[in-house]
Amino acid sequence: MKIKSKDFQVKEGKKVNLKKWPTIVKPVYKSKKKYKEHLKAQVEELSELQHLHYASDHCALLLIFQAMDAAGKDGAIRHVMSGVNPQGCQVFSFKHPSATELEHDFLWRTTRNLPERGHIGIFNRSYYEEVLIVRVHPEILRSQGFPDGMFDEETIWQNRYRSIVDLENHLYRNGTRIIKFFLHLSKEEQRKRFIDRIDEPEKNWKFNLADIEEREFWQ
């Protein structure tokens, strides 16, 4: 069985109801050995393509990973990008904005880390946090120091959507290609993974009490 990427693509302008999208698919292979063989071949091909990308110095590539906690962003980035030359690739993670970042517009902290031509940039979370986590936690929004008359919780989200779309269109017109991944998992699967982090000693370092608190905001 072969899964086609188009089966999971979201076209521009298409509305998405995550409840209707699968959080699990049938296995492609029967063993982990087969998966590892397939991954190894794909990583080697990706490494070759990166050399061409770097040598051409024509476009920049930005990969964006978004997901709920425990969905596997770190693992996906680590495994898939394991064959990429780190000189031509950088990974940036975006958590709660710092005091300095709060002094700028919401796109500033990601924009300053965009990849240059011939390079690959990976965002582990991104400017989409500003319409996700900030929407769940309005106290973050209120700390962002808006000018008088510019703050309206009723309209700010549509304005931010527009800013994000405008930015991505601008980047495309100037040679940056963006590929976005959302790792979709169910609430039950997240619960199992959190329990594994507690029960399995080698995974204890992954457990963070804040993840449990965020889970309360799932809906």
The CA distance from 56 to 159, in Å, is: 36
Contact 146, 86 (CB under 8 A): no
Provide the pLDDT confidence category of residue 99 given band limits of 50, 70 and 90. Answer: confident
The CA distance from 152 to 150, in Å, is: 7
pLDDT at 5 (0 to 100): 66
DSSP character at residue 84: S
Q: Is the pLDDT of residue 28 over 90?
A: no
Q: Is the pLDDT of residue 55 over 50?
A: yes
Contact 37, 28 (CB under 8 A): no
Average pLDDT over residues 107-113: 95
Mean pLDDT of the chain: 90
Q: Indicate left, alpha or beta for 16 from its phi (over 0: left) and psi (-120 to 50: alpha).
A: beta
Q: Is the pLDDT of residue 2 over 70?
A: no
Cα distances from 45 to residues 42, 84, 138, in angstroms, run: 5, 10, 44
Average pLDDT over residues 23-49: 91
Q: What domains appear along the chain, each with residue ranges and CATH number?
A: 27-185 (3.40.50.300), 187-219 (no CATH)
> What predicted TM-score, i.e. pTM, was given to this entire model?
0.89
Taking alpha carbons only, the member of 50, 51, 177 closest to residue 114 is 177
Give me the long-range contacts of 41-45 (CB less than 8 A, separation at least 24): 42/80, 43/79, 43/80, 43/82, 43/83, 44/83
Please write the tens of the pLDDT for every residue from 118-172. Answer: 999 999 999 999 999 888 888 888 888 777 767 777 788 999 999 999 999 999 9
How many other CB atoms sit within 10 Å of the CB of residue 103?
Answer: 11
